[in-house]
Structure 1
Amino acid sequence: MASDAIIGLYQRHALAFDAARGRQLFERGWLDRFAAWLPPGGAVLDLGCGMAEPIAAHLIGRGFRVTGVDTSPQLLGLARTRFPEQSWHLGDMRHLALAQRFEGILAWNSFFHLDQADQPEMFAVFARHAAPGAALLFTSGPEAGVAMGEFEGEPLFHASLSPGEYRALLARHGFEVVAHRAEDPECGGHTIWLARRAGADQPASTG
């Protein structure tokens, strides 16, 4: 499947991705909404963390403890060099089983590289690693389907379920939707989901 090629693509082009990835943090508004649900110094699980910039770097700068997971040894090597005090794990998010729960989980521009058949199973992974009241932030496509992009001359796979399917999966695994916006013009056209696990009170801060 085209989705299976994603791991190799990021391994082959890790340095090119690092150079191409903007650091201007257009995602800041959503990251700060996510952070508002976290306790000071809370633990965040970053799925598909890459080289930790700019997203993990922003959260680290705000005092959160980040555990990053990625399939690219090269990108993780950069993350370890830049932020050696954090935790970085080589692995596939689909099979993740860390003996830890987190106050925040994010899968920004990573979860949507999974095939449609794999995506529903990820919600059990989210739930397994979510502390009571945990915030969950991820990006998807605006509607069900497959979209092919391109990076370094190679096809780049993206897939999405329908918004209704995502809502049902979140509810089934104990999350409620806090905010959702399709193709947000203030965030580079990304489609974003912010949810929380049962047990949350009010946001810890307004960030």
Structure 2
Amino acid sequence: MSSSSTDKAGYAGLPLDRSGQAEAFDAIGNRYDEAFPHKEGQVAAVEWLTGALPGGARVLDLGCGTGLPTARQLADAGLDVVGVDLSGNMVDLARKHVPEADFQQMDIADLRPGGPADLGRFDAVAAFFSLLMLPRAEIPLALGTIHHLLNPGGLFVLSMVEADVDNFAIPFIGSTVRVSGYLRDELRAVVRDAGFEIVEETSYTYAPATADVQPEEQIFLRCRRVG
């Protein structure tokens, strides 16, 4: 990842340690979709986006993974889709699954105000289970970056696993990843503090189709940028 100019947008002094994270998802590849075959909450959140956006609206899929189902769903709705992911293998898979979208390998920190990458502004951003791959100290900064990337009044859909953990190593589909999370009251507060109105909240108890990922409570927030 790019780590220069980290004095902008509150990143000064943070190590931006991604060691092992991209490599884990490079190794997981298509097995991610096999482990999480049912994504009702994710699909429903994107349906809310597509119902609220005009054709051709520009949408960022942040942590796009294989491109399924989100980027595929957005593109099928006639939206202009850009996806980013830290894993090069995931980006390659997404390009195969959704060839009409634009996918790039990069870190959300690259997109911060004054950072090394500028993809322009978006009418909506989707971040499904991507911010939980960051240490807690970075999550408010990432939310600030998303606020910066959105046009005024832009829409934001977010999902996290409800858990009171910070940069905690867990086994995950044959690899090890580090994850962070919040209990839902704290998650709501962090999102609102970043300049978002929470329009709707849903949650799902999810049991992945793999033995080394425990059942989890997934929280989905449908939000609008304010300010």
Equivalent position amino acid for 1:198 in 2: V
2:77 is matched with: 62
3-state SS in 1 of match to 2:52: coil
Distance 1:94 1:141 in 2: 21
- 1:166 corresponds in structure 2 to 187
Against the structure 1 CA distance between its residues 28 and 89, is the aligned structure 2 distance closer, same or farther, given a 3 Å change threshold? same
Q: 2:145 & 2:177 partners in 1: Cα distance?
A: 24
2:226 alignment counterpart = 198
Contact 1:105/1:135, CA 8 A, preserved across alignment:
yes
Could you report, residue by residue, the CA deviation over 1:104-156 in whole angstroms, capped at 9, with x for unpaired residues? Answer: 10110211111111111101110111011111111123253246543343333
Hey, what does 2:7 align to over in structure 1?
Answer: none
Within the alignment, does 1:91 sit opposite 2:111 as a pair? no
Structure 2 residue runs without a partner (length 5+)? 1-15, 112-116, 208-215
Which amino acid in structure 1 is aligned with residue 96 of structure 2?
T
User: Which residue number in structure 1 is paired with residue 177 of structure 2?
Assistant: 156
Q: Distance in 2 between matches of 1:103 and 1:79?
A: 21
Q: Do 1:76 and 1:90's aligned partners in 2 also have CA atoms closer than 8 Å?
A: yes
Q: What is the CA–CA distance in structure 2 between the aligned matches of 1:153 and 1:50, rounded to whole Å? A: 17
The alignment's TM-score, normalised by the length of structure 2, stands at 0.75
**Cα deviation code 1:28-83 (max 9, x no counterpart):** 22221233332222111001101201111111111111100011111211222232
Residue 156 of structure 2: aligned partner:
136
Bigger mean CA deviation after superposition, 74-83 or 46-55? 74-83
Aligned residue identity for 2:179: H
What is aligned with 1:79? 94
The match for 1:118 is 138
Report the TM-score, using the length of structure 1 for normalisation.
0.81
Q: Is the 8 A contact 1:3 1:157 kept in 2?
A: no
**1:148-188 deviation line (CA, Å, top 9, x unaligned):** 5433433333211344443344334331111123x424998
- Change over 3 Å in CA distance of 1:140–1:17 after alignment to 2: closer
In 1, Cα distance between the equivalents of 2:119 and 2:204?
35
Displacement, 1:25? 4.2
Task: Give 1:192 shift.
Answer: 1.1
Separation in structure 1 between the aligned mates of residue 102 and residue 177 of structure 2, nearest angstrom: 28
Note if contact 2:163-2:180 (Cα within 8 Å) is conserved in structure 1: no
Equivalent position of 1:176 in the other structure: 197
How big is the shift at 1:17?
Answer: 2.9
Larger mean CA deviation between 140-149 and 35-44 belongs to 140-149
Q: 1:162 to 1:2 in 2, by over 3 A?
A: farther
Report if aligned partners of 2:82, 2:102 keep a CA contact under 8 Å in 1: yes
Distance 1:144 1:185 in 2: 16
